[in-house]
Chains A and B, each alone.
Chain A
Amino acid sequence: MPNGIAIEVRDLHKNYGQVQAVRGVNFDVQAGEIFSLLGPNGAGKTTTISMLSCLLEPTQGDARIWGHSIRSDSMAVKRVIGVVPQEVAVYPDLSASENLNFWGKMYGLRGAVLRQRVQEVLDIVGLSDHQKGAVSKFSGGMKRRLNIGVGLLPKPQVLFLDEPTVGIDPQSRRSILDQVKEFNRQGMTILYTTHYMEEAQELSNHIAILDHGALIAYGTHQELVRIIGELDRIELTINAEAERVLGTWRATEGVRQASAEDGKITLLVDDSNLVLPRLFDAAILAGVRVTGIQIQETNLEAVFLHLTGRALRD
């Protein structure tokens, strides 16, 4: 592994016919860090991670995982990675123990080493008491934990986690995030994809924001927030359809970006003290009443809004 870089991505492209799913992505992940790929659904996160885990062949470009090329030395890459796919990819009709035993063999583990590792992983993911039961009877959170457990079996140098918290309850989500931090504390390099900006914010040393297959921002959380500069982020609710004022507010002096989602209108403005009275005046003229207002700390959501003009969860 040269210069302590665990993952080195260079000019990575993936095309499906005329569709460019990933367009020239470049980034480095230092060994021992948690790196997040943040972006809305369809941004190219899963395609990127699929190429890095040698599941898909890039149309152009290359990447090195722990010094091994995904193009020319894929088997070596597979020996240093663990993959946790977005969908739960385990066998529902087998038990947790049988699943881990099978996947352990696929990673080349055998005999006593395999048995010991299966038990360790069951302990790590908290399924020791449920190791004999069929996975089909597991709760969604338990399945997710087993899904992660499979990726941990080979004690990977680099762990790819593709949106591991999608569709689970807050408690299980908290548990998974804590586990990810623990894996990292033990020295594992983690590439984490998510469309939850708060997860990326909480976990990551570095974050890359992807949109429409292209990397649009890259840095630490602080570096990314600094892109916005001194802008304020205001979240407003009104007693009517957002479209009735959105256009007017977007054109209001001092407003840099405006987007509406779930009945809320999010604005990036130069100075909230100056802009807010103008927004109220425009609302009165449009016959709309402002029913709620919140001035928030600038975050990655605001960065995405600033860079793309759209909310992260659009």
Chain B
Amino acid sequence: MKALDVAYKDLLRHTRSLFVWVMVFGAPLLIAGLIYFAFSGLGSGGGQLQLPVTRVQVANLDQPGSQLGGFAAGQVLLQFLQDPDLANLLQVTAAADEASARQAVDRQVADVAMIIPADLSTALAGPGKTASIQLYQDPTLTIGPAIVKGLIDGFVDGFSGSHIASAVLAEQFQAHGLPTDARTVQTVAMQYADWAQAVGESRASGQHPAIVWQAPPRKATSTNPLADLAGKILAGQLIFFSFYTAAATAQSIITEEEQGTLARAFTTPTPRTTILAGKFLAVLLLVLGQIVVLATVSSLLFGVRWGQLPSVTAAIVALVTAATGFGVFLMSFAKSTRQAGLLSGIILTVLGMAGGLFSVGVETLPKAFAALSKMTPHGWALQAWKLSLAGAGLDELLLPAGVLVLFGAGFFTAGALMFRRRLA
């Protein structure tokens, strides 16, 4: 009961501190908010991250022969580019001829003109033939034309196999001393082209006929990439500031030691362990409150979906345990409040950096950095929160959450023992 009295008193004092309000709630929200709004400048409408739509004029000169069995590569390519899924990237219109397509770019009515050659179907379906798709672009643009080129590359790659299949078949005929059967080669090339076309269509709808994708069942978290980014950034801030809050709150032991109130408390008929337990409890409760408030507010303000409730709960419990334990441990080394401030500032910033808290948006970090982050509680905390953000189930969070709890328990035990010894 007395431990609760100590914890209540500490929390009451913290609520009256402007520093606590700023550092516990204000700063992390402000930083995440600034980054969120900085990124939202790239997008428009409902916070969706959008690139400018590239206007493409297509002059389809492709003339598929009757021997191709109705296969019309130019038309397939045009339909592929006009797929509704690409509407937020491309605005594709058919031009009457090559000249009008080029003129549209010159008059800046279009960003890219695409000239599909007359022999595209023949080239894609038959062996030993080539054809070139011409792109004519506004020289001031980079991203839009690059996207168009990338899409065409993907499309053409799908048909390259028919070339290879035709060539191999022709070689096999020759190797076995047989006359080349043009009809058979043509049929094989067409079958391959049909398959490539089917793959292309399937890919457009997110499927692949030869590959079955599997992943642990996850609930969709967010379809808003900006909210996802804000979520990751805020997770980093949340972790950094929760460790900071724990250290700053645990620092009150040293503050009270200096102010004489701790010594006075030790002259009352309350065991020292009870007093210390109360102070540790205050640290834990404040960190818990901070995380819950920040998670809730960021969800409301930035639309961050933190994940499934059991996963978020596990991430919170693990982070609270680790932050509290580490805060107590860190402060047990400090001899004065001045030293405590320096100690927590330096160590928590370094661990935060090593743990990857300030590079959460960077997906491709060196392996050494990833390994380094796993040596810090911050790195494990970030992993747990990222998993939760991605909609992972509780079973996937068990490892990082478990490691965090072990980290926290170990640090707490060591810190508490050091404080007990010091204040005995």
Interface centre among A89, A90, A93, A154 (most CB of B within 10 A): A89
User: Which of B2, B13, B259, B270 contacts A89, CB < 8 Å?
Assistant: B259
Question: Given A91-B9, A106-B2, is A54 in contact with B16 using a C-beta cutoff of 8 Å?
Answer: no
Contact A93 B17 (CB under 8 A): yes
Question: Residues of A contacting B269 with CB < 8 Å?
Answer: 75, 78-79, 106-108
Point out which of B2, B9, B266, B268 has the most chain A C-beta atoms below 10 A from its C-beta: B268
A135 to B: closest C-beta gap in Å: 11
Query: Nearest Cβ distance between residue A81 and chain B, in whole angstroms?
Result: 7
What is the CA–CA distance of A103 and B260 in the complex, to the nearest angstrom?
A: 13
Q: Which residues of A contact B267 (CB under 8 A)?
A: 53-55, 78, 81, 83
User: Which B residues lie within 8 Å of A54 (CB)?
Assistant: 266-267
Q: A78-B269, A98-B12, A106-B268 are contacts. A89–B263 as well, Cβ < 8 Å?
A: yes
Candidate in A79, A91, A102, A106 with the most chain B CB atoms within 10 angstroms: A106
A57 to B267, CA, bound (A): 12
B265 in the interface (beta carbon within 8 A) = yes
- With most chain A CB atoms within 10 A of its CB, the pick from B2, B261, B263 is B261
B-side interface mostly? helix
Residues of B within 8 A of A61 (CB): none
Residues from chain B with a CB closer than 8 A to the CB of A89 are 259-261, 263-264
Q: Give the complex CA separation of A91 and B13 in angstroms.
A: 8
Query: Roughly how many angstroms separate A78 CA and B424 CA in the complex, as a whole number?
Result: 16
Contact mask A22-36 → B, CB, 8 Å, 1/0? 000000000000000
Per-residue contact bits, chain B 259-285, to A (CB 8 Å; 1 contact, 0 not): 111011111111100000000000000
- How many of chain A's residues have a CB under 8 angstroms from any CB in B? 27
Q: Is B5 an interface residue (CB 8 A)?
A: yes
A192, chain B: closest CB distance, angstroms: 16
Contact (A150, B264) CB under 8 Å given A89-B259, A102-B5, A106-B5 = yes
A83 CA / B265 CA spacing, docked (Å): 10
Closest to B278 in A: A106
**In the assembled complex, A87 has its CB within 8 A of some CB on chain B:** yes
Q: A75-B269, A102-B9, A108-B269 are in contact. Are A93 and B264 (CB under 8 A)?
A: no
Complex Cα distance A108/B1, Å? 10
Mark B235-279 against chain A: 1 for CB-CB distance below 8 A, else 0: 000000000000000000000000111011111111100000000
Size category of the B interface is 20 to 34
Question: Of residues 57 to 104 in A, which have CB atoms within 8 Å of B's CB atoms?
Answer: 57, 75, 78-79, 81, 83, 85, 87-91, 93-94, 98, 102-103
Do the beta carbons of B270 and A106 come within 8 Å of each other?
yes
Chain B contacts of A108 at CB under 8 A? Answer: 269-270
Pick from A50, A57, A91, A107: contact of B268, CB under 8 Å: A107
Chain B, range 214-250, C-beta contacts under 8 Å to A: none
Q: Which of B277-321 contact A (CB under 8 A)?
A: none
Q: How far is the CA of A150 from the CA of B270 in the complex (A)?
A: 15
Structural contact, A85 and B16, CB atoms closer than 8 A = no
**Interface: A132 (CB within 8 A):** no
A102 to B264: give the CA distance in the assembly, Å. Answer: 12
A94 touches B264 (CB 8 A): no
- What chain A residues lie within 8 Å of B2 (beta carbons)? 105-106
Report the separation of the CA atoms of residues A89 and B265 in the bound assembly, to the nearest whole angstrom: 9
A residues in contact with B13, CB < 8 Å: 91, 93-94
A103 touches B268 (CB 8 A): yes
Bound CA span A98–B9, Å: 9
- CA of A53 to CA of B2 in the docked complex: distance in angstroms? 20
How far, in angstroms, from A107 to B264 measured CA to CA in the complex?
11
**Shortest distance from the beta carbon of B282 to any chain A beta carbon, whole Å:** 13
Contact call A105/B5, Cβ cutoff below 8 A? yes
Q: Is the CB of B265 within 8 A of A85?
A: no
Once the chains are docked, how many angstroms separate the CA of A136 from the CA of B17?
Answer: 13
Q: Which of A54, A81, A93, A105 has the most CB of B within 10 A?
A: A105
> Which B-chain residue is minimally distant from A75 (CB atoms)?
B269
Rounded to whole Å, the gap between the CB of B24 and the closest CB of chain A is 16
What separation, in Å, do the CA atoms of A108 and B270 have in the docked complex? 8
A94 to B260: give the CA distance in the assembly, Å. Answer: 15
The answer on a CB contact under 8 Å between B5 and A85 is no
Q: How far is B265's CA from A154's CA once the two chains are assembled, in angstroms?
A: 13
Question: Given A93-B17, A106-B2, do A55 and B268 touch, yes or no (CB 8 Å)?
Answer: no
CA separation between A98 and B10, bound complex, in Å? 12
Task: Take A103-B268, A106-B268, A108-B269 as given contacts and tell me if A55 and B263 are in contact as well, using a CB distance cutoff of 8 Å.
Answer: yes
* Chain B residues whose CB sits within 8 angstroms of the CB of A98 once the complex forms: 12
Nearest Cβ in chain A — how far from B253, in angstroms? Answer: 14
Query: How far in angstroms is the closest Cβ of chain A from B271?
Result: 8
- Residues of chain B with a CB closer than 8 A to A57's CB: 424
CB of B287, distance to nearest CB on chain A (Å) = 20
Pick the contact of B16 from A87, A93, A107, A154 — CB < 8 Å?
A: A93
Among B9, B16, B259, the most chain A Cβ lie within 10 Å of the Cβ of B9
Sampled A-B contacts (27; CB under 8 Å): A54-B266, A55-B267, A57-B424, A75-B271, A78-B267, A81-B267, A83-B264, A83-B267, A85-B263, A85-B264, A87-B259, A87-B260, A88-B260, A89-B260, A89-B261, A89-B264, A90-B261, A91-B9, A93-B13, A93-B16, A93-B17, A94-B16, A105-B5, A106-B2, A106-B5, A106-B265, A108-B270
Chain B residues packing against A (C-beta within 8 Å): 2, 5, 9, 12-13, 16-17, 259-261, 263-271, 424
A-B interface, 10 closest residue pairs, ranked by CB to CB distance from nearest? A89-B260, A106-B268, A78-B269, A89-B264, A83-B267, A105-B5, A53-B267, A87-B260, A79-B269, A89-B261
17 new A-B contacts at CB < 8 Å, known A93-B17, A150-B264: A55-B263, A79-B269, A83-B267, A85-B260, A85-B264, A87-B259, A87-B260, A89-B261, A89-B263, A90-B261, A91-B9, A93-B13, A94-B9, A98-B12, A102-B5, A102-B9, A106-B2
